[in-house]
Amino acid sequence: MPVYVVGAGPGDPRLLTLRAVELLQQADIVAFGELVPDEIVRLYAPRARVVKLGHRRAEHDAVIDALIEEAGRGLNVVVLKNGDPAVFGRGVQICARAESRGVPCEIVPGVPAFAAAAALFKIELTNGKTLRHVSLYSFPHFSAETLRSAATDTVVVHMMGNRLDVVRRAVEQGCSSEAEVFVCYAVSLGGECRRVAPSELLNYKNKRPLLVIVRGCRSGSGANVSPSWR
């Protein structure tokens, strides 16, 4: 049997694709990490054996290797990934790992968290005029320098955890005072997207899952940062 790497979307079970629901209902084993709500598995795969995925690479890869073996023995294995498996979800890497062992693998797209945040809270990521490009970042590959060098109009930073202080400093040092900063958390599960000043980001350090959208950073204009941000 193939390994199925399935996008769980932004958390609301109603936002899964029909294909995702179909595979979950047929699953013998469902593996997922802490960003995927348990409710999705309880609702769509109540009889499946549940396996938890660790976030650290070594732990994550060890679990994936065990799941590939289970699929090779004929079990229906679904690996649920928050949002879309191809966006910081290691989906392609998982399939490459499975296929190198002779086990087929299929990736099922999901609604990415940043797209859900923009749609549900009516935040334009692109408008064809002043907003024409979008860059996606996650830690540890984000800093004030990456923000300054990003030749893009909209920046989305994923999976902050306790790194909101780094995001705050990056925006203060790398963007003009005209930049718009939105903090978004649990966007389909009763959370919100709110426009904030960079100094307010730390108020959301305990919210999860969380991402930050920065529009109009105007790369290279960090010298024009407003003194009120400091």
The enclosing domain of 79 has a CATH number of 3.40.1010.10
> Phi and psi of 109, rounded to 5°?
-60, 155
CA distance 169 to 201: 10
Mean pLDDT (the chain) is 90
* Cβ proximity of 105 and 5 under 8 Å: yes
Which strand (E) or helix (H) includes residue 118?
A: helix 113-120
pLDDT at 13 over 90: yes
pLDDT at 188 over 70: yes
Query: For the residues 10-27, what does the mean pLDDT come to?
Result: 97
pLDDT tier at 139 (50, 70, 90 boundaries)?
confident
Structural domain span for residue 119: 114-229
We report the CATH number of the domain holding residue 173 as: 3.30.950.10
Per the model's pLDDT, the better-predicted residue between 162 and 161 turns out to be 162
pLDDT tier at 161 (50, 70, 90 boundaries)?
low
Residue positions counted in the chain:
230
pLDDT at site 98: 97
pLDDT at site 222: 36
Q: Is 28 helix (H, G, I), strand (E, B) or coil?
A: coil
51-95: per-residue pLDDT in tens?
999 878 888 999 999 999 999 999 999 999 999 999 998 999 999
Domain boundary among 94, 111, 128: 111
CA distance 204 to 167: 12
Are 95 and 154 members of one domain? no
pLDDT at 148 over 90: no
Are 100 and 136 members of one domain? no
Q: What percent of the chain has pLDDT over 70?
A: 93
pLDDT at site 10: 95
CA distance 182 to 156: 10
Q: What percent of the chain has pLDDT over 90?
A: 75
Helices 91-99 and 57-72, axial angle in degrees (round to 10): 50
Domain count, the chain: 2
CA distance 7 to 29: 16
CA distance 97 to 91: 10
Domain boundary among 85, 111, 137: 111
At position 152, the amino acid (one-letter code) is T
Q: List 180's β-bridge partners, or say none.
A: 215
Are 71 and 176 members of one domain? no
pLDDT at site 195: 97
Radius of gyration of the chain from Cα atoms?
A: 19
Are 158 and 223 members of one domain? yes
Start-to-end C-alpha separation, the chain: 56
Give the number of other CB atoms < 10 A from CB of residue 163.
18
pLDDT at site 54: 82
pLDDT at site 160: 65
pLDDT at 96 over 90: yes
Domain boundary among 90, 111, 132: 111
196-228: per-residue pLDDT in tens?
999 999 999 888 889 999 999 864 433 333 333
